[in-house]
Amino acid sequence: LKNCDLVIEAVFEDMQLKKEIFEKLDAACKPGCILASNTSYLSIDEMAAATKRPEKVMGMHFFSPANVMKLLENIQGAKTDNVTLVTCTSIGTRIGKWPVLSQNMNGFIGNRMLTFYSTEAGSMAMEGAMPAQIDKVATDFGMPMGPFAMSDLVGLDVGFQARKRKGLSDPKMNLKDALCESGRLGMKNGKGYYDYKDGRTRVPSKLVDDLVVEISANNGYKRRSFTDQEIFERLFYPLINEGFKVLEDGVARQPSDIDVTYCHGYNWPRVTGGPMHYADVIGLKKIADILTKYASTYPKAHYFAPASLLKECVASNSSLSKFWAKNGNNYKFVPKTPRL
């Protein structure tokens, strides 16, 4: 490694392990060598602190499968210098990626917004919708797969063993924990939220549907029916709302960077232009009103409260694109301490 100009670490998401690797890379690599991490949500600054060259440390988050997905989410740390930033952007372009720059906050751009999409999928399953119905709404919109199928693809056991070691798993109350305990780990072993008869084709599982009903009851829910419209709103509107907060916090430079992130990193249907452009198409007042309704119904779900930037756009009777063109410079795109 002593003659390398760039080294990219890509071990699993364990901060202690990553810090140990960065410390060793710092000792082995020449001065000026850029040390990058493929992390999808961990703090770049914490890794940089394990080195004597924090200005040469940056996140380079490739999306899986890396040989297919075009997005490269570059993450700038508090001490990352301009040479490192420009170099990583240039490398991304040279290898055929679409580089987008993010500041170093938990989840960066893409995974931060995805958090509440996944949260609401789980909540609706507990309240009365079945995984297959929720996923169908997502795929009917144009997503390549829904949240439960995506979990199966990634692997349901991701993070499960760590939770179990800490005594945090609860298969009587948590659906994913129950599936893992029963040996349903996702597509990789042919059974997760779905059964995979030929290793790829998803088939709804009666066993899982029965387990959903059981765990829903254990959590005290009285199950009800869901319309596809409610599922759509509760999946995608919190995601869009978080996009407004990403802009407020200066994590993304501009709305189009979020749209590129989702179209090229998460296979968001390109015909809609991406989540932030699509918000303008739907109408920001409509989105804000529906979020307000859900915030009243589910007061503990803080992510339904309309973002300040969204409310500003509505108050000025402006689309996001027009509001940002006029006022975007008021939202500082500068390195910040990660918010946990």
Token pair for residue 117?
Answer: 């999409």
pLDDT value at 337 more than 60:
no
- pTM score, two decimals? 0.92
Which three-class secondary structure state does DSSP give residue 37? strand
Q: What are the catalytic residues?
A: 61
pLDDT score at 161: 78
- Torsion (CA) 291, 297, 298, 299 in degrees, nearest 10: 90
Q: Omega before 65 cis (within 30°)?
A: yes
* Mean pLDDT of the region 29-38: 97
Question: In sequence order, which ranges of the chain are alpha helices (DSSP H)?
Answer: 15-28, 44-48, 82-94, 110-127, 131-141, 147-154, 160-165, 175-181, 206-218, 228-248, 255-265, 275-282, 284-297, 308-315, 320-327
pLDDT value at 154 more than 90:
no
pLDDT value at 64 more than 50:
yes
pLDDT value at 339 more than 60:
no
- Which residue did the predictor score with more confidence, 163 or 326? 326
Average pLDDT, the chain: 95
Q: Which residues of 213-228 are buried (b: 16+ CB within 10 A; e: fewer)?
A: bebbebeeeeeeebee
Q: Over the stretch 110-151, which tens digit does the pLDDT of each residue have? A: 999 999 999 999 999 999 999 999 999 999 999 999 999 999
pLDDT score at 320: 98
pLDDT score at 334: 56
